[in-house]
Chains A and B, each alone.
Chain A
Amino acid sequence: MDSVSVFTDFQFSDLGFLAEAAGRTLLISVLAISIGTVLGCVFGWVLSATRLAGDATLGVILDIFRSVPLIIQLILFYNFFPIIGFNVSPFVAGTIVLIFYTSALVAAVARGGIDAVSINLRRASRSLGMTYWQDLRYVVWPVGLRAVLPSWAGVALGVLKDSALVSVLGYVELLRASQILITRTQEPFLILTVVGAFYFALSFPISRITARLERRWQYD
Protein backbone atom coordinates (compact mmCIF):
# COMPACT_ATOMS: atom_id res chain seq x y z
CA MET A 1 0.00 0.00 0.00
CA ASP A 2 1.18 3.48 -0.85
CA SER A 3 1.81 5.85 2.00
CA VAL A 4 -0.88 8.42 2.69
CA SER A 5 -0.35 11.87 1.24
CA VAL A 6 0.82 14.14 4.02
CA PHE A 7 1.35 17.27 1.95
CA THR A 8 -1.62 18.78 0.19
CA ASP A 9 -1.69 21.89 -1.96
CA PHE A 10 -3.26 25.21 -1.07
CA GLN A 11 -6.96 25.03 -1.84
CA PHE A 12 -9.71 27.58 -2.12
CA SER A 13 -11.26 26.27 1.10
CA ASP A 14 -8.10 27.24 2.96
CA LEU A 15 -9.11 30.87 2.54
CA GLY A 16 -12.10 30.00 4.70
CA PHE A 17 -9.76 28.44 7.25
CA LEU A 18 -7.76 31.68 7.28
CA ALA A 19 -10.88 33.83 7.51
CA GLU A 20 -12.02 31.81 10.49
CA ALA A 21 -8.62 32.30 12.08
CA ALA A 22 -8.81 36.04 11.34
CA GLY A 23 -12.11 36.00 13.22
CA ARG A 24 -10.29 34.54 16.21
CA THR A 25 -7.58 37.20 15.96
CA LEU A 26 -10.36 39.80 15.95
CA LEU A 27 -12.13 38.14 18.88
CA ILE A 28 -9.09 37.96 21.13
CA SER A 29 -8.08 41.52 20.18
CA VAL A 30 -11.54 42.98 20.80
CA LEU A 31 -11.71 41.25 24.19
CA ALA A 32 -8.25 42.42 25.18
CA ILE A 33 -8.73 45.97 23.94
CA SER A 34 -12.19 46.52 25.43
CA ILE A 35 -11.58 45.00 28.86
CA GLY A 36 -7.98 46.22 28.92
CA THR A 37 -9.10 49.77 28.13
CA VAL A 38 -11.67 49.85 30.95
CA LEU A 39 -9.12 48.45 33.39
CA GLY A 40 -6.44 50.76 32.05
CA CYS A 41 -8.64 53.85 32.51
CA VAL A 42 -9.30 52.85 36.12
CA PHE A 43 -5.60 52.22 36.71
CA GLY A 44 -4.73 55.53 35.04
CA TRP A 45 -7.18 57.37 37.26
CA VAL A 46 -5.80 55.65 40.38
CA LEU A 47 -2.25 56.55 39.35
CA SER A 48 -3.17 60.14 38.67
CA ALA A 49 -5.21 60.51 41.87
CA THR A 50 -2.75 58.85 44.25
CA ARG A 51 0.49 60.17 42.79
CA LEU A 52 3.51 58.79 44.64
CA ALA A 53 1.74 56.03 46.55
CA GLY A 54 0.19 54.72 43.34
CA ASP A 55 3.44 55.00 41.41
CA ALA A 56 5.26 52.95 44.02
CA THR A 57 2.74 50.10 43.97
CA LEU A 58 0.39 49.82 41.01
CA GLY A 59 2.76 51.84 38.85
CA VAL A 60 5.61 49.41 39.38
CA ILE A 61 3.47 46.39 38.55
CA LEU A 62 2.07 47.95 35.38
CA ASP A 63 5.56 49.01 34.40
CA ILE A 64 6.68 45.37 34.43
CA PHE A 65 4.09 44.53 31.77
CA ARG A 66 5.55 47.30 29.62
CA SER A 67 9.19 46.32 30.18
CA VAL A 68 9.11 42.58 29.50
CA PRO A 69 8.53 41.23 25.98
CA LEU A 70 4.95 40.09 25.50
CA ILE A 71 6.08 36.72 24.20
CA ILE A 72 7.93 36.08 27.49
CA GLN A 73 4.86 37.15 29.48
CA LEU A 74 2.70 34.74 27.51
CA ILE A 75 5.07 31.81 27.99
CA LEU A 76 5.46 32.58 31.69
CA PHE A 77 1.76 32.82 32.48
CA TYR A 78 0.78 29.89 30.32
CA ASN A 79 3.25 27.75 32.23
CA PHE A 80 2.44 29.33 35.58
CA PHE A 81 -1.32 28.70 35.65
CA PRO A 82 -1.01 24.90 35.70
CA ILE A 83 1.65 25.14 38.43
CA ILE A 84 -0.85 26.77 40.77
CA GLY A 85 -3.44 24.23 39.75
CA PHE A 86 -5.45 26.08 37.12
CA ASN A 87 -5.63 24.42 33.81
CA VAL A 88 -6.35 27.05 31.26
CA SER A 89 -6.67 26.83 27.52
CA PRO A 90 -4.31 28.79 25.30
CA PHE A 91 -7.24 31.08 24.50
CA VAL A 92 -7.94 31.94 28.15
CA ALA A 93 -4.27 32.31 29.08
CA GLY A 94 -3.61 34.43 26.00
CA THR A 95 -6.64 36.64 26.59
CA ILE A 96 -5.79 37.24 30.25
CA VAL A 97 -2.19 38.18 29.47
CA LEU A 98 -3.26 40.42 26.58
CA ILE A 99 -5.84 42.15 28.82
CA PHE A 100 -3.25 43.01 31.45
CA TYR A 101 -0.71 43.99 28.82
CA THR A 102 -3.28 46.30 27.20
CA SER A 103 -4.37 47.74 30.53
CA ALA A 104 -0.76 48.55 31.42
CA LEU A 105 -0.32 50.43 28.14
CA VAL A 106 -3.70 52.16 28.42
CA ALA A 107 -3.02 53.16 32.04
CA ALA A 108 -0.02 55.20 30.93
CA VAL A 109 -2.10 56.80 28.18
CA ALA A 110 -5.07 57.49 30.48
CA ARG A 111 -2.88 59.00 33.13
CA GLY A 112 -1.36 61.25 30.51
CA GLY A 113 -4.87 62.26 29.44
CA ILE A 114 -5.96 63.15 32.97
CA ASP A 115 -2.77 65.05 33.63
CA ALA A 116 -3.21 66.89 30.33
CA VAL A 117 -6.28 68.62 31.70
CA SER A 118 -5.02 71.81 33.28
CA ILE A 119 -5.44 72.02 37.01
CA ASN A 120 -6.92 75.52 36.63
CA LEU A 121 -9.71 74.15 34.47
CA ARG A 122 -10.50 71.56 37.10
CA ARG A 123 -10.43 74.11 39.88
CA ALA A 124 -12.77 76.25 37.84
CA SER A 125 -15.24 73.42 37.37
CA ARG A 126 -15.15 72.59 41.07
CA SER A 127 -15.69 76.21 42.02
CA LEU A 128 -18.75 76.22 39.75
CA GLY A 129 -20.19 73.70 42.19
CA MET A 130 -19.43 70.45 40.34
CA THR A 131 -18.70 67.41 42.48
CA TYR A 132 -15.43 65.53 42.03
CA TRP A 133 -17.19 62.93 39.89
CA GLN A 134 -19.02 65.52 37.81
CA ASP A 135 -15.71 67.22 37.15
CA LEU A 136 -14.23 63.87 36.10
CA ARG A 137 -17.15 63.00 33.88
CA TYR A 138 -17.96 66.34 32.24
CA VAL A 139 -14.59 68.10 32.17
CA VAL A 140 -11.67 65.70 32.48
CA TRP A 141 -13.10 62.92 30.31
CA PRO A 142 -13.97 64.96 27.18
CA VAL A 143 -10.87 67.16 27.35
CA GLY A 144 -8.46 64.35 28.20
CA LEU A 145 -9.97 61.97 25.65
CA ARG A 146 -9.23 64.39 22.85
CA ALA A 147 -5.63 64.68 23.96
CA VAL A 148 -4.94 60.96 24.08
CA LEU A 149 -7.27 59.32 21.57
CA PRO A 150 -4.49 58.99 18.97
CA SER A 151 -2.21 57.34 21.50
CA TRP A 152 -5.00 55.03 22.56
CA ALA A 153 -5.61 54.05 18.94
CA GLY A 154 -1.91 53.34 18.66
CA VAL A 155 -2.17 50.98 21.62
CA ALA A 156 -5.23 49.27 20.14
CA LEU A 157 -3.48 48.76 16.81
CA GLY A 158 -0.43 47.44 18.60
CA VAL A 159 -2.50 44.92 20.54
CA LEU A 160 -4.26 43.75 17.37
CA LYS A 161 -0.88 42.95 15.86
CA ASP A 162 0.66 41.64 19.06
CA SER A 163 -2.19 39.15 19.37
CA ALA A 164 -0.21 37.21 16.77
CA LEU A 165 2.09 36.16 19.59
CA VAL A 166 -0.67 34.13 21.22
CA SER A 167 0.18 31.67 18.44
CA VAL A 168 3.15 30.49 20.50
CA LEU A 169 0.68 29.04 23.01
CA GLY A 170 -0.97 27.05 20.23
CA TYR A 171 -4.14 29.12 19.88
CA VAL A 172 -5.07 28.94 16.20
CA GLU A 173 -5.39 32.60 15.28
CA LEU A 174 -4.27 34.09 12.00
CA LEU A 175 -0.54 33.59 12.41
CA ARG A 176 -0.79 30.05 13.75
CA ALA A 177 -3.16 29.21 10.92
CA SER A 178 -0.55 30.40 8.48
CA GLN A 179 2.04 28.14 10.07
CA ILE A 180 -0.32 25.18 9.85
CA LEU A 181 -0.92 25.86 6.17
CA ILE A 182 2.79 26.33 5.46
CA THR A 183 3.52 22.98 7.08
CA ARG A 184 0.85 21.33 4.98
CA THR A 185 1.45 23.03 1.65
CA GLN A 186 5.14 24.01 1.86
CA GLU A 187 4.29 27.34 0.21
CA PRO A 188 5.66 29.95 2.62
CA PHE A 189 5.67 32.97 0.34
CA LEU A 190 2.11 32.62 -0.91
CA ILE A 191 0.67 32.03 2.53
CA LEU A 192 2.65 34.75 4.29
CA THR A 193 1.45 37.19 1.64
CA VAL A 194 -2.19 36.19 2.04
CA VAL A 195 -1.94 36.39 5.85
CA GLY A 196 -0.16 39.75 5.61
CA ALA A 197 -3.07 40.99 3.50
CA PHE A 198 -5.52 39.76 6.16
CA TYR A 199 -3.70 41.65 8.91
CA PHE A 200 -3.45 44.72 6.74
CA ALA A 201 -7.18 44.62 6.09
CA LEU A 202 -7.86 44.44 9.84
CA SER A 203 -5.40 47.12 10.85
CA PHE A 204 -5.27 49.67 8.05
CA PRO A 205 -8.84 51.03 8.42
CA ILE A 206 -8.24 51.76 12.09
CA SER A 207 -5.01 53.61 11.43
CA ARG A 208 -6.67 55.63 8.66
CA ILE A 209 -9.58 56.69 10.86
CA THR A 210 -7.19 57.66 13.65
CA ALA A 211 -5.01 59.68 11.33
CA ARG A 212 -8.08 61.55 10.10
CA LEU A 213 -9.35 62.24 13.62
CA GLU A 214 -5.92 63.43 14.63
CA ARG A 215 -5.76 65.82 11.72
CA ARG A 216 -9.24 67.17 12.31
CA TRP A 217 -8.63 67.82 15.98
CA GLN A 218 -5.35 69.48 15.31
CA TYR A 219 -6.93 72.33 13.41
CA ASP A 220 -9.91 73.26 15.52
Chain B
Amino acid sequence: MDYTFHWRPVFRKLPDLLEAGLVTMEVAVLAMLVGVVLGLALAIIRMSGLKSITWFAVGWIELARNTPALLQLFFFGFGLGAFGIHLSPFLIVLFGLSFNNAGYLAETFRGGFNAVPPTQVKAARSLGMTPTQAYTRIVIPQVMRVVYHPMTNQMVWSVLMSSLAMLVGYRELAGETQFLASKTYRIFEFFLVTAVIYYVMVKLILAGSRLLSWRLFRY
Protein backbone atom coordinates (compact mmCIF):
# COMPACT_ATOMS: atom_id res chain seq x y z
CA MET B 1 0.00 0.00 0.00
CA ASP B 2 1.51 3.22 -1.17
CA TYR B 3 -1.12 5.63 -0.01
CA THR B 4 -0.69 7.91 2.98
CA PHE B 5 -3.91 9.07 4.55
CA HIS B 6 -4.12 12.77 5.34
CA TRP B 7 -6.92 13.49 7.74
CA ARG B 8 -5.82 16.89 8.97
CA PRO B 9 -7.10 18.88 5.95
CA VAL B 10 -10.48 17.22 6.41
CA PHE B 11 -10.86 17.92 10.10
CA ARG B 12 -9.79 21.50 9.57
CA LYS B 13 -12.69 21.87 7.16
CA LEU B 14 -15.20 20.02 9.32
CA PRO B 15 -17.13 23.20 10.25
CA ASP B 16 -17.56 23.95 6.54
CA LEU B 17 -18.82 20.44 5.94
CA LEU B 18 -21.31 20.59 8.80
CA GLU B 19 -22.57 23.94 7.56
CA ALA B 20 -23.00 22.43 4.10
CA GLY B 21 -24.92 19.62 5.80
CA LEU B 22 -27.42 22.22 6.95
CA VAL B 23 -27.71 23.50 3.39
CA THR B 24 -28.48 19.94 2.31
CA MET B 25 -31.21 19.64 4.94
CA GLU B 26 -32.63 22.98 3.89
CA VAL B 27 -32.92 22.16 0.22
CA ALA B 28 -34.14 18.61 0.91
CA VAL B 29 -36.88 19.78 3.27
CA LEU B 30 -37.96 22.57 0.91
CA ALA B 31 -38.08 20.15 -2.01
CA MET B 32 -40.14 17.81 0.14
CA LEU B 33 -42.65 20.53 1.06
CA VAL B 34 -43.05 21.66 -2.53
CA GLY B 35 -43.21 18.00 -3.56
CA VAL B 36 -46.04 17.28 -1.11
CA VAL B 37 -48.14 20.20 -2.36
CA LEU B 38 -47.53 19.38 -6.03
CA GLY B 39 -47.90 15.65 -5.43
CA LEU B 40 -51.25 16.18 -3.73
CA ALA B 41 -52.38 18.34 -6.63
CA LEU B 42 -51.23 15.75 -9.18
CA ALA B 43 -52.98 12.94 -7.27
CA ILE B 44 -56.24 14.90 -7.14
CA ILE B 45 -56.01 15.79 -10.83
CA ARG B 46 -55.33 12.18 -11.72
CA MET B 47 -58.27 10.95 -9.64
CA SER B 48 -60.57 13.67 -10.95
CA GLY B 49 -60.96 11.77 -14.21
CA LEU B 50 -61.05 15.00 -16.21
CA LYS B 51 -59.48 13.92 -19.50
CA SER B 52 -58.28 17.41 -20.40
CA ILE B 53 -55.90 17.66 -17.45
CA THR B 54 -55.29 14.04 -16.47
CA TRP B 55 -52.74 13.59 -19.25
CA PHE B 56 -50.69 16.38 -17.71
CA ALA B 57 -50.58 14.68 -14.30
CA VAL B 58 -49.92 11.26 -15.81
CA GLY B 59 -47.16 12.66 -18.01
CA TRP B 60 -45.46 14.36 -15.06
CA ILE B 61 -45.73 11.28 -12.84
CA GLU B 62 -44.42 8.86 -15.47
CA LEU B 63 -41.55 11.13 -16.51
CA ALA B 64 -40.52 11.70 -12.91
CA ARG B 65 -40.60 7.98 -12.16
CA ASN B 66 -39.06 6.62 -15.33
CA THR B 67 -36.01 8.81 -15.92
CA PRO B 68 -32.96 9.26 -13.67
CA ALA B 69 -33.13 12.13 -11.19
CA LEU B 70 -29.76 13.33 -12.44
CA LEU B 71 -31.12 13.69 -15.96
CA GLN B 72 -34.04 15.67 -14.54
CA LEU B 73 -31.59 18.01 -12.82
CA PHE B 74 -29.65 18.48 -16.07
CA PHE B 75 -32.92 19.37 -17.76
CA PHE B 76 -33.64 22.12 -15.28
CA GLY B 77 -30.07 23.32 -15.82
CA PHE B 78 -28.73 23.40 -19.35
CA GLY B 79 -31.91 21.94 -20.83
CA LEU B 80 -34.03 24.93 -19.87
CA GLY B 81 -31.03 27.19 -20.44
CA ALA B 82 -31.32 26.43 -24.15
CA PHE B 83 -34.60 28.38 -24.05
CA GLY B 84 -33.06 31.26 -22.18
CA ILE B 85 -34.59 30.22 -18.85
CA HIS B 86 -31.87 30.56 -16.26
CA LEU B 87 -32.24 29.08 -12.83
CA SER B 88 -29.61 29.51 -10.16
CA PRO B 89 -27.96 26.24 -9.08
CA PHE B 90 -30.09 26.34 -5.94
CA LEU B 91 -33.29 26.59 -7.96
CA ILE B 92 -32.13 23.88 -10.37
CA VAL B 93 -31.75 21.54 -7.41
CA LEU B 94 -34.95 22.67 -5.71
CA PHE B 95 -37.07 22.37 -8.87
CA GLY B 96 -35.43 19.11 -9.94
CA LEU B 97 -35.93 17.44 -6.57
CA SER B 98 -39.46 18.82 -6.20
CA PHE B 99 -40.37 17.55 -9.67
CA ASN B 100 -39.10 14.10 -8.73
CA ASN B 101 -40.64 14.08 -5.23
CA ALA B 102 -44.01 15.20 -6.60
CA GLY B 103 -44.06 12.34 -9.13
CA TYR B 104 -43.47 9.72 -6.46
CA LEU B 105 -45.65 11.31 -3.78
CA ALA B 106 -48.58 11.65 -6.19
CA GLU B 107 -48.68 7.87 -6.49
CA THR B 108 -48.30 7.51 -2.73
CA PHE B 109 -51.24 9.83 -2.10
CA ARG B 110 -53.36 8.13 -4.74
CA GLY B 111 -52.70 4.81 -3.03
CA GLY B 112 -53.60 6.40 0.31
CA PHE B 113 -56.94 7.73 -0.93
CA ASN B 114 -57.74 4.44 -2.65
CA ALA B 115 -57.14 2.63 0.62
CA VAL B 116 -60.16 4.32 2.19
CA PRO B 117 -63.35 2.75 0.77
CA PRO B 118 -65.83 5.39 -0.47
CA THR B 119 -68.55 3.62 1.50
CA GLN B 120 -66.99 5.04 4.66
CA VAL B 121 -67.77 8.56 3.53
CA LYS B 122 -71.33 7.52 2.86
CA ALA B 123 -71.55 5.91 6.27
CA ALA B 124 -70.15 9.04 7.93
CA ARG B 125 -72.59 11.20 6.01
CA SER B 126 -75.53 9.03 7.03
CA LEU B 127 -74.43 9.47 10.65
CA GLY B 128 -75.04 13.17 10.13
CA MET B 129 -71.50 14.40 9.47
CA THR B 130 -70.95 17.23 6.98
CA PRO B 131 -68.69 16.41 3.97
CA THR B 132 -65.88 18.42 5.60
CA GLN B 133 -66.28 16.49 8.82
CA ALA B 134 -66.33 13.21 6.97
CA TYR B 135 -63.05 14.07 5.27
CA THR B 136 -61.19 15.60 8.19
CA ARG B 137 -62.32 13.06 10.78
CA ILE B 138 -62.67 9.85 8.80
CA VAL B 139 -60.74 9.95 5.51
CA ILE B 140 -57.67 12.13 6.15
CA PRO B 141 -56.57 10.39 9.38
CA GLN B 142 -56.66 7.03 7.62
CA VAL B 143 -54.87 8.37 4.56
CA MET B 144 -52.20 9.85 6.81
CA ARG B 145 -51.64 6.46 8.37
CA VAL B 146 -51.13 4.84 4.96
CA VAL B 147 -48.87 7.54 3.50
CA TYR B 148 -46.83 8.36 6.59
CA HIS B 149 -44.25 5.65 6.17
CA PRO B 150 -43.75 6.15 2.38
CA MET B 151 -43.48 9.89 3.02
CA THR B 152 -40.72 9.33 5.55
CA ASN B 153 -38.93 7.21 2.96
CA GLN B 154 -39.37 9.96 0.38
CA MET B 155 -37.86 12.47 2.81
CA VAL B 156 -34.81 10.23 3.19
CA TRP B 157 -34.66 9.96 -0.60
CA SER B 158 -34.87 13.71 -0.85
CA VAL B 159 -31.74 14.03 1.29
CA LEU B 160 -29.86 11.28 -0.56
CA MET B 161 -30.90 12.63 -3.95
CA SER B 162 -29.85 16.17 -3.08
CA SER B 163 -26.23 14.94 -3.32
CA LEU B 164 -26.66 15.05 -7.11
CA ALA B 165 -26.46 18.81 -6.70
CA MET B 166 -22.68 18.49 -6.81
CA LEU B 167 -22.99 17.71 -10.51
CA VAL B 168 -24.92 20.89 -11.30
CA GLY B 169 -22.63 23.24 -9.44
CA TYR B 170 -24.55 23.67 -6.19
CA ARG B 171 -22.48 23.52 -3.04
CA GLU B 172 -24.56 21.58 -0.56
CA LEU B 173 -22.81 18.83 1.39
CA ALA B 174 -21.65 16.75 -1.59
CA GLY B 175 -20.82 19.82 -3.68
CA GLU B 176 -18.86 21.44 -0.87
CA THR B 177 -17.01 18.17 -0.30
CA GLN B 178 -16.06 18.03 -3.94
CA PHE B 179 -14.94 21.65 -3.88
CA LEU B 180 -12.74 21.12 -0.83
CA ALA B 181 -11.42 17.77 -2.05
CA SER B 182 -10.44 19.31 -5.38
CA LYS B 183 -8.25 21.78 -3.52
CA THR B 184 -6.45 19.23 -1.38
CA TYR B 185 -6.80 16.13 -3.62
CA ARG B 186 -7.86 14.09 -0.59
CA ILE B 187 -10.93 12.67 -2.23
CA PHE B 188 -11.25 9.50 -0.17
CA GLU B 189 -10.78 11.16 3.20
CA PHE B 190 -13.20 13.99 2.46
CA PHE B 191 -15.93 11.78 1.06
CA LEU B 192 -15.63 9.30 3.92
CA VAL B 193 -16.32 12.02 6.46
CA THR B 194 -19.18 13.26 4.28
CA ALA B 195 -20.63 9.75 4.13
CA VAL B 196 -20.71 9.71 7.93
CA ILE B 197 -22.50 13.07 7.98
CA TYR B 198 -25.14 11.80 5.53
CA TYR B 199 -25.61 8.68 7.61
CA VAL B 200 -26.19 10.72 10.76
CA MET B 201 -28.62 13.04 8.96
CA VAL B 202 -30.65 10.10 7.67
CA LYS B 203 -30.75 8.52 11.13
CA LEU B 204 -31.91 11.81 12.64
CA ILE B 205 -34.75 12.05 10.13
CA LEU B 206 -35.85 8.49 10.83
CA ALA B 207 -35.70 9.04 14.59
CA GLY B 208 -37.65 12.29 14.26
CA SER B 209 -40.24 10.60 12.11
CA ARG B 210 -40.67 7.81 14.67
CA LEU B 211 -41.12 10.30 17.50
CA LEU B 212 -43.67 12.21 15.47
CA SER B 213 -45.58 9.06 14.58
CA TRP B 214 -45.96 8.19 18.27
CA ARG B 215 -47.62 11.51 18.86
CA LEU B 216 -49.72 11.44 15.71
CA PHE B 217 -51.02 7.91 15.70
CA ARG B 218 -51.71 6.96 19.29
CA TYR B 219 -55.18 6.06 20.35
Q: Which residues of B contact A126 (CB under 8 A)?
A: none
Instruction: Identify A69's interface contact among B75, B79, B198, CB under 8 A.
Output: B198
Do A72 and B174 have beta carbons less than 8 Å apart? yes
Whose C-beta in chain B lies nearest to the C-beta of A163? B68
The verdict on B78 contacting chain A, using a C-beta distance below 8 Å, is yes
Instruction: Identify A76's interface contact among B63, B70, B191, CB under 8 A.
Output: B191
Q: In the complex, A24 Cα to B3 Cα: how many Å?
A: 32
Interface positions, chain A 31-75, Cβ under 8 Å from B, are 64, 67-73, 75
For chain B, the bracket of interface size reads: 35 or more
Q: Evaluate whether A199 and B66 lie within 8 angstroms (CB atoms) in the complex, with A76-B188, A83-B1 already known.
A: yes
Whose C-beta in chain A lies nearest to the C-beta of B159? A69
Do A188 and B194 have beta carbons less than 8 Å apart? no
Instruction: Identify A188's interface contact among B69, B82, B188, CB under 8 A.
Output: B82
Q: Which residues of A contact B82 (CB under 8 A)?
A: 187-189
* Residues of chain A at interface, number, CB under 8 A: 38
Do A69 and B67 have beta carbons less than 8 Å apart? no
Whose C-beta in chain A lies nearest to the C-beta of B188? A79
Do A192 and B195 have beta carbons less than 8 Å apart? no
Number of A-B contacts (CB under 8 A): 105
Q: Is the interface of B mostly helix, strand, loop or mixed?
A: helix
A103-119 Cβ-contact flags toward B at 8 Å (1 or 0): 00000000000000000
The verdict on B71 contacting chain A, using a C-beta distance below 8 Å, is yes
A189-203 Cβ-contact flags toward B at 8 Å (1 or 0): 100110110011001
The verdict on A162 contacting chain B, using a C-beta distance below 8 Å, is yes
Do B74 and A83 have beta carbons less than 8 Å apart? no
Q: In the complex, A70 Cα to B157 Cα: how many Å?
A: 11
The verdict on B163 contacting chain A, using a C-beta distance below 8 Å, is yes
Interface residues in chain B, defined as those with a beta carbon under 8 Å from any beta carbon in chain A: 1-3, 62-63, 65-71, 74-75, 78-79, 81-83, 156, 160-161, 163-164, 166-167, 174, 187-188, 191-192, 194-195, 198-199, 202-203
11 interchain pairs (CB within 8 A)?
A67-B160, A67-B199, A68-B160, A68-B195, A72-B163, A75-B187, A79-B187, A162-B68, A165-B164, A193-B79, A196-B67
Interface residues in chain A, defined as those with a beta carbon under 8 Å from any beta carbon in chain B: 64, 67-73, 75-76, 79-80, 82-85, 157, 161-162, 164-165, 167-168, 175, 178, 182, 187-189, 192-193, 195-196, 199-200, 203-204, 207
